[in-house]
Amino acid sequence: MRFTVGKKLLLGFGIVLLLLFALGYLSVKTMDYMKGRVDSITAVWVPGVESINELNFEAEHVLNLTYRHKDETDASTMDVLSNSIAQLYDKFDTNLAVYETTLHSDGEKVQFEQLKASWKQFKDNNKLALEASRSNNRDKAMELLNDGQKLFDDMQTSFNDLKKLNHDGAIAAGDDGRQFL
């Protein structure tokens, strides 16, 4: 069978068009995969890091306000500080529950349970320090605050471990996307 020039041109353009569609389909599939990786980073790992940073800030703020409470002599200012600390307790507990929804690995769950246990100890100790401060027992309050500082340092270790787990997860998701290319 002989192809005329018109049929040859039509066949050539058909092949080019077919290759163009195949390349377009492959490009769309690759972009869809990369979008999934980006979504994984932004929907899973980044919120985890943000939550941990927020929890860390709230715990630091509780400790700071408790030190201020210990040094305060005015009862009304002590009340304001106590109310602020109580609000931070609630906010921390709420954010802890939010963070729990972002847990993915068993290692992260273990670190999270350690953080919850450290937070409970820290909070219980902090409440005792506030009571001692309120009753003007500055020596007892300072002793409890020193213990609270050690408990805070334990929490800090959990915060840092959780930040690292989330950071490493984001890096792994990014690397997974790069390997696909």
Sequence letter at residue 75:
A
The residue among 113, 92, 127, 90 whose CA lies nearest residue 162 is 113
CATH code for position 92: 1.20.1440.210
pLDDT tens track for 126-146 = 999 999 999 989 899 999 999
Q: What is the pTM of this model?
A: 0.75
Q: How far apart are CA 10 and CA 22, in angstroms?
A: 18
Residue 76 to residue 172: CA distance in whole angstroms: 51
> Domain for residue 97, yes or no?
yes
- Counting the structural domains of the chain, the total is 1
> Is residue 116, in this structure, part of any structural domain at all?
yes
Give a yes or no: residue 76 inside a domain.
yes
Range of the domain at 91: 37-180
Q: Is 88 among the domain residues? A: yes
Q: Is residue 43 part of a domain?
A: yes
- What pLDDT is recorded for position 37? 76
Rounded Cα distance between 75 and 68, Å, is 12
Task: Report yes or no on 25 lying in a domain.
Answer: no
Residue 137: inside a domain: yes
pLDDT value of residue 45: 73
Looking at residue 49, what is its pLDDT? 83
- Assess contact for 52 and 119: CB atoms under 8 A: no
Spell out, as residue ranges, where the chain has pLDDT lower than 70. Answer: 1, 176-181
Instruction: Please say whether the dihedral angle defined by the alpha carbons of residues 160, 108, 119 and 154, taken in this order, is positive or negative.
Output: negative
Judge whether 105 lies within some domain: yes
